[in-house]
Amino acid sequence: MTQYEQGYTGTNGHKAIDHDELARAWIIEARQGRFPHAPPPGKWYKVLASLLNIHETYGKDAMEATIQSYAQNTKSYPGFADLLQPKEQPESPPARDDTEEPLIPPLPESAQLSEDLSKDASPWLDEYETFSCYWSPRGFEDFHVFVGLWVLSTIAARRVRLDFGGKKYTPLFVALVARTTQYAKSTTAKIGYEALRSAGLRWMLGADNTTPQKLLSDMAGHLPNSYGTMDEDDQERARRRLAFSGQRGWYYDEFGQHMDAMSKTGGIMSDFKGILRRLDDCFDESEYATISRGSEKIDNPYLSLLASLTPSDIKPYAGANAAFWRDGFFARFAFVCPPDNSRKRDRFPDGEMVIPYTLSKKLKDWHDQLGEPTLDVSDETNKKGDVTGYKWARSALPEQVCTLSDGVKNAYYAYSNGLDDLVDLHRLDMLAGNYGRLPMIALRIAMLLASLENNGLIEMRHWAKGQELAELLRKSVHTMVAEINQAEESDASQVENDVLAVVEKLDKPCTAREIRNHSRVFRRLSPARFRDMLDNLVTDGMLTRDKPQGGKTQLYARVKVEQEQKQEAAF
């Protein structure tokens, strides 16, 4: 890890912005002739940018003289002299208590990699993460890097391929899961949106809100009816969108609404589950039929999704036996969920946010390097020569084929086998699908970084970064499940208290049906589950259960206060 990286990486692996340390590390690197990718954002940005300009214009000696001048001018540059002094080393953190139960099962040693192996995997991603942390200081640490990866996945647009057990591409479904307003999901996501816009690639995103039918129709490709009346710039944008019609990025800020709609059988949104699974699989083509348009075909379908939702949104569909786990739908998502103790109260920076040129130019250059299909548009006319429509022809989608360097394939299988062993050893049946897909998510990340930074050659540093980030996702999905389970236990406890209150209010022995019909909350539970709850309260000594002589129905009644007190005293 370089000194520059240490400026924004804390001892626990999370990103903690220290602007003085970033500037100090940048100056050290610059004095040694090893300039970082760009001056870091923050209060020292303009000063460091001027030093960089002086170095490029007049040379190293002039830059050093300027540094000394700034250090002596304490009135104009207060605090700058302190940056030239070595930083005091922090005290060592307290030793970890090995008896503490880990949040997730530790990775087997056979699959572990050294911490510094991912160094220099992607200078662009490092710079993006630093920039995002600065402009969204209250965002959960892991949100920044995965929004950056969604940006890369969107631009890749099925043009980055690896032949590894068949054709592999780089779609990512990133889901930011956190309580509303507390972890800056939208603020952090919009920085990725702005990065695409600043690179002139906003057109690669689909509509913010859409139906399954509209999404598929747009991906099949159509020129707008108003194409002939558009100005030249709008026509160019329409042609580029049509050239990539089957490859879309999608940012959906309130994806929880889709969760509700997708779960309704026969509803207008119910097809989304199957569509998203199929788009993640990246078949060569997808054909579907509509009443209005007949049969339509999507060539080279590909989707990169960034979704924001809350634990409350996902809770109804994330129980131990929920279909979303069993059918592979949740397994395709990269869930990013903060732990309870990670909320931050940092202040937002002043001024207007401007995406650095170094970030946007790298994205544009990469897009140009990957190439665009050509699109020829011609008029369709009637016998009178009037334009009645347009026909178009599109060339094949270009592809950059990645290659694996020595050791990457073995590291992939070591990670995959290690995760399989954890599923068997710890009986992680519910998360088996997520564990099984983490190696492929890691490989997709490695492909993106290698394509962006290394002409498609996947070296161990790219794989190590992919595995490092996949491990963050593994921790996140356990965090999400724990939070959902905790909420369910709290809800169940509240329902039990409500049951006791209702039975006490009725003040007579009642059947399970009579109690259940007394509250809409109770009726949301199945009769069998509600009876199980009543029986648990009987076991706990809170209710009595009797069957009248000659009767078949069981009656439940509240245990008297005196009897409860005797039971508590005996306990």
Residue by residue, DSSP assigns 439-498 as HHHHHHHHHHHHHHHHTTEE-HHHHHHHHHHHHHHHHHHHHHHHHHHHHHHHHHHHHHHH
Domain 507-570 part of CATH 1.10.10: yes
Q: CA 533 to CA 335: how far, in whole Å?
A: 32
Express each pLDDT in 54-90 by its tens digit. Answer: 887 778 888 888 888 888 888 778 888 888 887 665 5
- Across the range 379-391, mean pLDDT stands at 81
Which pLDDT tens digit goes with each residue over 535-562?
Answer: 888 887 788 888 876 667 888 888 764 4
The 10s digit of each residue's pLDDT in 437-446 is 999 999 999 9
Q: What is the pLDDT of residue 486?
A: 65
The span from the CA of 68 to the CA of 517, in Å, is 81
Containing H/E element for 543?
strand 543-546
- The predicted structure's pLDDT at residue 99: 40
Closest CA to 488 of 288, 324, 351, 315: 315
pLDDT at 140 over 70: yes
Bridge partners, residue 286, by sequence = 298
pLDDT, residue 5, reads 42
Angstrom distance (rounded) from CA 504 to CA 473: 47
Contact 261, 269 (CB under 8 A): yes
Range of weakest confidence among 97-101, 105-109, 149-153: 97-101
As given in the structure block, the two tokens for residue 480 are 């999400």
pLDDT one-digit tens code per residue, 162-188: 999 999 999 999 999 988 777 889 999
Instruction: Give how far Cα 288 sits from Cα of 222, 284, 297, 303, 497, Å.
Output: 15, 14, 7, 17, 51
pLDDT at 433 over 70: yes
pLDDT digits (tens, 9 = 90+) for 329-378: 889 999 999 987 778 888 888 889 999 999 999 999 999 999 999 988 88
pLDDT reported for residue 468: 96
pLDDT at 138 over 70: yes
User: Reduced to 3 states, what is the DSSP secondary structure of residue 419?
Assistant: helix
Contact in structure between 501 and 547 (CB atoms under 8 Å): no
Cβ atoms of 40 and 50 within 8 Å: the answer is: no
pLDDT, tens digit, for every residue of 292-303?
556 778 889 999
d(CA 300, CA 183): 36
**Nearest Cα to Cα of residue 169 among 300, 333, 332, 306:** 300
pLDDT (0 to 100) of residue 284: 84
Higher pLDDT, 251 or 58: 251
**Rounded percentage of the chain residues whose pLDDT exceeds 70:** 86
Q: Is the pLDDT of residue 571 over 50?
A: no
Q: Answer yes or no: CATH 3.30.1490 is held by domain 118-208+245-266+302-345+354-373+397-486.
A: no
Domain boundaries, the chain: 3-83, 118-208+245-266+302-345+354-373+397-486, 507-570
Q: Once rounded to an integer, what is the mean pLDDT over residues 308-320?
A: 81
Q: How does pLDDT run across 397-416, given as a tens digit for each residue?
A: 999 999 999 899 999 999 99
- Going by pLDDT thresholds of 50, 70 and 90, the confidence category of residue 36 is low
Please give the mean pLDDT across all residues of the chain.
Answer: 83
State the pLDDT confidence band at 7, using cuts at 50, 70 and 90: very low
Can you tell me the distance from the alpha carbon of 152 to that of 447, in angstroms, rounded to the nearest whole number?
Answer: 10
Residue 335's nearest CA partner among 79, 143, 524 is: 143
Kindly state the DSSP code that residue 390 receives in the 8-state scheme: E
Q: Given a cut of 50, is residue 426 above it in pLDDT?
A: yes
Q: 407 or 316: which carries more pLDDT confidence?
A: 407
pLDDT at position 1 is: 39
**Sign of dihedral through CA atoms 105, 480, 115, 420?**
positive
Q: Is the pLDDT of residue 259 over 90?
A: no
pLDDT at position 500 over 70: yes
Tokens of 537: 């309260």
Residues 267-289 have a mean pLDDT of: 77
pLDDT of residue 87: 65
What single letter denotes the amino acid at residue 49? A
Claim: this prediction has a pTM higher than 0.95: no
